[in-house]
Structure 1
Amino acid sequence: MSVPIIHHPAFDANFDARHRFPMSKFTRLAEILVEDGVVGPAGFHVPAPALPAWLRLAHDPRYVDQVLFHAVPAAVERAIGFPVDERVAMRSRCATGGTMLAARLALGEGLACNTAGGSHHAGRAGGAGFSVFNDVAVAASVLLADGDVASVLVVDCDVHQGDGTARIFAAEPRVFTLSIHAERNYPPEKARSDLDVPLADGTADADYLAVLGEALAFGCAAASPDIVFYNAGVDPHRDDRLGRLALSDEGLAERDRRVIGFFRERQIAVAAVIGGGYSRDIDALARRHSILHRVAAEFA
């Protein structure tokens, strides 16, 4: 049995290639997973767009309506980093639906991976940092509201702190937020996660992996989770345009292997999202993101 992988063509909102956000990586990632046979014969699982009622569990209803009706205030669009038009709104709903589907499949099969998601800077009142809807926060909120899980652990290994997720769940004891990130990177004003592991500039494979194991053990013991949402951002890579750490391809693969393996050994479901990654070389970037799905296949 292959690990379920989720993809929707709407994940790519077709930005200009010169934009700082490398939107075309989502299309290229899906192509690579097919070309290299990482996706099983049945193909991708295709999500439905997230329902407005789901979005309102994690976000202010006023903000949700602004996105859905393409009326996001200019100041919020500046914080996000791009206009929220019809394509971006649909992309954000589909990416969130993808993480929701990954969570449902993970609960049934143990592990599932989105080919988008990890928009962790979006807070309750609005988006920020290339994040419109916080897909992990939405999916976790839906599972809790439906009674499908009693406890959630968010393991965020994007190079940027998961500030939006931390703030959304600051008063929610059923969600434990863990963020391993570059201390001196965005956002300039950090939130308080349940466990923050800030790393110095230039941290490479060995030192990163050393702190990872301790963080996973602490988070798992504190949360006793029914499901883990894993943000496998590749922006800790040494060649990332917006990162400050120095992981190699092998380091990213070992990170993913240790995170997924830690929880699967304990029979805890893992829903993985791709998080951030920034490069003008879209093919190289998409292949870097595919490390997650290749490693996940080892656990099929």
Structure 2
Amino acid sequence: MLPLIYHASYSKLALPSKHRFPATKYLYLYQYLLQQGIAKQSQFFAAQAVTQQALTETHCSNYVSHFINGTLDAKLMRRIGFPWSKSLLERTLRSVAGTELTCRKAIEYGCAIHLSGGYHHAHHQFGSGFCIFNDLTYAAQQALKYPDIDKVLIFDCDVHQGDGTATTAATFNSIITCSIHCQHNFPARKQQSDYDIELPRGTADKYYLETVSQTLNYLIRLHQPDLIIYDAGVDIHTDDNLGYLNISTEGIYARDKSVIQQAYSAKIPIACVIGGGYSNEQHQLNIRHSQLFLAANTVFSNDLNK
């Protein structure tokens, strides 16, 4: 079985009209996967909300407290890009916990996918770019508490650099961070991951896929991680509203299959999050994000049929 992590709160977010964040995409993706027969209801799990105390293992306690209580400075909320609300709070706490649960299920089953996650612009004491708490670093820290997990690789293929992941994981030698992203894109001020692969605008399938495959192969051989957390952002797509790369839908599938296959071949559990994807055409966004699930089903087809 391929475990999938989802909670209805992911799309229950009241936002101003014409807000750029596609809050409804999580619900629509969930429905699409079921309607297309890509997933079954029995595969889905939901996480309990992460606790305030647990979040302070990754983030500044004052920042965590102010956000949870709705007293965060207005400038910091504007930097995040959302108005504070109880629905935003629940969504945030559930989503962070969801990525942790995805890691636990991946360790158990070999692979798991979260229908949210990838909030890689969240730093230790502030959020940014629609990211409040860094679920990737938090989940990696929690995974390291498992007896057989001594090193975690965060492999970020979202089109934007994982600047918050770079800073929040910087002091953890057991967390390896890699970001493959568009060089001239948000954030304007990049941070230093353990490995940063910057791609020029307009990069197309062939070079992109070679870069992803060769980079992951190198990192697996060099660091021999016990768990991979994979941010499978689809904002690399040529028609993404915030992208600037020139990757096709077929290229997204090939990337996701390559990443999952390498983890599978190396017998490394892989926890996947869907990451960024921005489009006014919801059906097209469903198709782009669904490539991750199709790829996982293909790689794990023999295991799923057991």
Question: If the length of structure 2 is used for normalisation, what is the TM-score?
Answer: 0.95
Match of 1:157 in 2: 157
Name the SS of the counterpart of 2:208 in structure 1: helix
Match of 1:121 in 2: 121
Matches of residues 41-52 of structure 1 in structure 2 within 5 Å? 41-52=41-52
Deviations along 1:205-227, whole A, 9 cap, x unmatched? 00101111221122213321110
Structure 1: how far apart are the matches of 2:148 and 2:119? 23
Structure 2: how far apart are the matches of 1:39 and 1:52? 32
Structure 2: how far apart are the matches of 1:27 and 1:103? 21
**What number of residue pairs does the alignment pair up?**
299
- Per the TM alignment, residue 147 of structure 1 is displaced from its structure 2 partner at its CA by 4.4
- Per the TM alignment, residue 43 of structure 1 is displaced from its structure 2 partner at its CA by 4.1
Match of 1:237 in 2: 237
Match of 2:29 in 1: 29
- Per the TM alignment, residue 166 of structure 1 is displaced from its structure 2 partner at its CA by 0.7
Name the SS of the counterpart of 1:71 in structure 2: coil
Deviations along 1:64-97, whole A, 9 cap, x unmatched? 1112111221111111111122111110111111
Match of 1:5 in 2: 4
Matches of residues 193-232 of structure 1 in structure 2 within 5 Å? 193-232=193-232
Match of 2:166 in 1: 166
Root mean square deviation of aligned Cα: 1.3
**Given residue 111 of structure 1, which amino acid in structure 2 is its aligned partner?**
C
- The yes-or-no answer on 1:283 pairing with 2:276 is no
Matches of residues 90-169 of structure 1 in structure 2 within 5 Å? 90-145=90-145, 147=147, 149-169=149-169
Match of 2:304 in 1: none
Please, which moves more after superposition, 159-168 or 31-40? 31-40
**Identical-residue share of aligned pairs (%):** 37
- Confirm or deny: 8 A CA contact 2:2 2:43 kept in the other structure: no
Over 3 Å counting, the alpha-carbon distance change for 1:290 and 1:14 in structure 2 is: farther
Structure 2, unaligned runs of 5 or more: 301-306
Match of 1:178 in 2: 178
Please, which moves more after superposition, 7-16 or 112-121? 7-16
- Confirm or deny: 8 A CA contact 2:179 2:196 kept in the other structure: yes
Over 3 Å counting, the alpha-carbon distance change for 1:144 and 1:260 in structure 2 is: same
- Confirm or deny: 8 A CA contact 2:15 2:82 kept in the other structure: no
- Per the TM alignment, residue 287 of structure 1 is displaced from its structure 2 partner at its CA by 2.3
Match of 2:63 in 1: 63
Name the SS of the counterpart of 2:239 in structure 1: coil
Question: If the length of structure 1 is used for normalisation, what is the TM-score?
Answer: 0.96
Name the SS of the counterpart of 1:77 in structure 2: helix
